[in-house]
Amino acid sequence: MLILKTVAALRRFRARARGKVVLVPTMGALHAGHADLIARARKLAGKSGTVIVSIFVNPTQFGPKEDLSRYPRPFAADAKLCKTLGTDAILHPYPEEIYPTGFSTYVNEEQVSSGLCGASRPGHFRGVCTVVLKLFTICQPDVAVFGLKDYQQCRVIARMVRDLNIPLKLVFAPTIRERDGLALSSRNVYLSTEERAQAPALRRGLLTAQAAFGTGERSAAKLRRMVEKEIRKASLSRVDYIEVVDGESLTATRTVKAGDTIALAVYFGRTRLIDNIQLAEPRRR
């Protein structure tokens, strides 16, 4: 496995790469959720293909008061995990490789990114789109793999890929969770013991709404209130947003249908957790 720190080195690697090239973009601090994406990438690439994992804590997607400087960066452990999972190359660029002095070109998706996390984190998706497009042009993957835990990010990237005719296939993978339902996240390490104990309330709230949808509830407002009620039982929680939206456009829905999504962001102390569920009809036996 190669560890490449410059765009030039990655380009040389890419020029020699054989078979299908599959990219997994990450910010590092890898956990079982990332591991699942990398294992999927390995499968998609096959024996003859090439898996690239990028590890880059992207400064442009953090707001001025967010956790950029304290974001965990355990690179040695990350590299070890990548190697175990059959990664061919890690792109771990110096920040100035990605953002040279005088950098002044950004990508702005203007619809799907406007609500939810886009509303509470102004500029976040501009940073995400910019770095992801750069990773695409640098690595030129045939396939890129993202996690549905960041549901809005998936939809925004899908829109960017369509709008800008980027020639690759996107694969979105389901969320990997702790046994108690908490979605794995690099930010979970910030939680105190008490906050960690309460954090599964997010998943419980979403499952309560899914159960009600399964038995016929179609009012978005009612489903939203059920989620909120469950989360408010966690005394340390502070709701940023809970919204019921169309699964594709992410616009608010009043009467829900299968495929609509409940997305939420909740603070525990200074730590902001996100989660979502795509509402599905219960399976008939």
Active site residues: 34
Nearer to ligand AMP, 113 or 253 (CB): 113
Asked if residue 125 binds ligand AMP (CB under 6 A), the reply is no
Q: How buried is residue 146: exposed, middle or buried, by Cβ count under 10 Å (0-12/13-18/19+)?
A: buried
Q: Which of 35, 44, 170, 176 binds ligand AMP (CB under 6 A)?
A: 176
The full DSSP string for 80-149 is HHHHHTT-SEEE---HHHHS-TT--------STTSSHHHHHSTTHHHHHHHHHHHHHHHH--SEEEEEGG
φ, ψ at 228 (rounded to 5°)? -60, -40
Among 185, 188, 271, 276, binds ligand AMP (CB under 6 A): 185
Closest Cα partner for 134 from 164, 172, 173? Answer: 164
Q: Which of 112, 114, 109, 116 is nearest to 244 (CA)?
A: 116
Indicate whether 87 belongs to the interface with ligand AMP (CB under 6 A): no
Contact region for ligand AMP (CB under 6 A) — 2-10, 33-41, 66-74, 274-282?
Answer: 33-41
Is residue 26 at the binding interface for ligand AMP, with CB under 6 A as the rule? yes
| Cβ nearer to ligand AMP, comparing 118 with 226 | 118
Concatenating the DSSP letter of every residue in 184-219 gives: P-GGGGG--HHHHHHTTHHHHHHHHHHHHHHTT--B
Among 11-19, 116-124, 172-180, 263-271, which window interacts with ligand AMP (CB under 6 A)?
172-180
The site for ligand AMP, by CB under 6 A, has a size of 17
**CB 33, min distance to ligand AMP, A:** 2
Distance in Å, CB of 101 to ligand AMP, minimum: 25
Under rule CB under 6 A, residue 89 binds ligand AMP: no
| Residue 202 contacts residue 239 (beta carbons within 8 Å) | no
Interface residue with ligand AMP among 41, 53, 98, 184 (CB under 6 A) is 184
Show Cβ contacts of residue 130 under 8 Å, excluding neighbours closer than 6 positions: 60, 105, 106, 107
Distance CA 133, CA 149 (A): 20
Is residue 136 at the binding interface for ligand AMP, with CB under 6 A as the rule?
no
- Tell me how far, at minimum, the Cβ of 213 lies from ligand AMP, in Å: 22
Q: What is the DSSP letter of 166?
A: -
Q: How far is the CB of 151 from ligand AMP (least distance, A)?
A: 8
One of 175, 210, 253, 276 touching ligand AMP (CB under 6 A): 175
135 binds ligand AMP (CB under 6 A): no
Give the Å distances, CA to CA, from 220 to 180, 241, 243. 26, 14, 9
Establish if 37 lies at the interface with ligand AMP (CB under 6 A): yes
Q: Which of 14, 34, 124, 196 binds ligand AMP (CB under 6 A)?
A: 34
Residues within the interface to ligand AMP (CB under 6 A): 26-27, 33-34, 36-37, 146-147, 149-150, 173, 175-176, 183-186
